[in-house]
Amino acid sequence: MTDVLGIHHVTAIAGDPRENLAFYTGLLGMRLVKRSVNQDDPGTYHLFYADAEGNPGTDLTFFPWPHLPAGRLGTGLTGEVMLAVPKGAVRYWAERLAAAGVHSGPLEERFGERALLVTDPHGMAIALVETEAERRFSPWEASPVPADKQVRGIHGVRLWEESLGPSRKLLEDVFGFSLQASVGEWHRFVPTGGSSGGVVDVREAGGVGRGVMGRGSVHHVAFRVPDDAAHGRARARVLAAGHRPTPVIDRFWFKSVYFSEPGGVLFELATDGPGFAVDEDPAHLGEHLVLPPWLESDRERIEAMLPSLDG
């Protein structure tokens, strides 16, 4: 059962899209690889930050919904997104964040990895985690961050669950992940041959209360499958395990299936291809508003609804 390779992308809810863009490209130095709209709510942007090529597993995406109340962390939510940085880079990052007036927390040691904690402008918890693990990564030449310090992509996510058992069963029996280690209330799961990009830490946090999704919350965590055939097999296993996956939805840059994991976190299964270069010149990703073909006829109305990202 190696169909689920790790994390494909994480999607979260931001406030003002310009502040979101400035933080993730200007400060964290990621590349805006796709400027699109929420396909279920086309008056809202969908902004994708990744490495230079938008390799699967590098991608953190946002729906900016400034009018939404702030989320409240609790069980059934993703409490933090871990971004991979090269070994030895956290000192650079602590200084870079401080110079920009962004507070970062004390360094934490977790499962043998050093993590620098920071909160984005809209309240989302991020950890910059040092790792040497090999992964697909293309440095972004125009980044304000030097290539040897750049964010490598998603390292993992930290989920808060009322109880470990049901989520563990899904991760192990359906996804084929294994429990790597447990420290206190935290349990680390990794895919077969686990590496950076596939870490799922689960906090068994019974009694802290149910989380409420809002601004600054992670909306869903998408897991990678290599192709359509693997997507079908993984969906069938999710269904057979008693969960309720959606039909396959064509997101144009990849195909998606969504379902709620037993603790309430929204999961997605997404195919590695065809990728972000399918409709844009790789040298100019993210520079213009891209719509999937079925929304193209509505472009004028959609553009009029969206706030400007420039200036």
The residues binding Zn ion (CB under 5 A) are 11, 222, 268
Which residue sits closest to Zn ion, CB atoms considered? 222
Closest approach of Cβ 266 to Zn ion, in Å? 9
CB hemisphere CA count around 143 (13 angstroms):
27
Residue 20: CB atoms within 10 A of its CB come to 25
- Helices (H), ranges, 132-276: 164-169, 228-240
Closest approach of Cβ 50 to Zn ion, in Å? 13
Closest approach of Cβ 10 to Zn ion, in Å? 8
Closest approach of Cβ 222 to Zn ion, in Å? 4
- For Zn ion, which is the closer residue by CB, 244 or 284? 244
Q: How far is CA 12 from each of CA 15, 46, 50, 214, rounded to the nearest angstrom?
A: 10, 10, 14, 9
- For Zn ion, which is the closer residue by CB, 62 or 93? 62
CB hemisphere CA count around 188 (13 angstroms):
20
- For Zn ion, which is the closer residue by CB, 162 or 268? 268
Closest approach of Cβ 47 to Zn ion, in Å? 13
Give me the amino acid identity at 36: S
Give me the amino acid identity at 127: A
Kindly report the backbone phi and psi dihedral angles of residue 7, in degrees, each rounded to the nearest multiple of 5, phi listed first: -95, 135
Closest approach of Cβ 139 to Zn ion, in Å? 24
- For Zn ion, which is the closer residue by CB, 93 or 276? 276
- For Zn ion, which is the closer residue by CB, 104 or 217? 217
- Compute the distance between CA of residue 248 and CA of residue 228 in angstroms, rounded to an integer: 10
DSSP 3-state percent helix, strand, coil across the chain (nearest 5):
20, 40, 40
- For Zn ion, which is the closer residue by CB, 11 or 75? 11
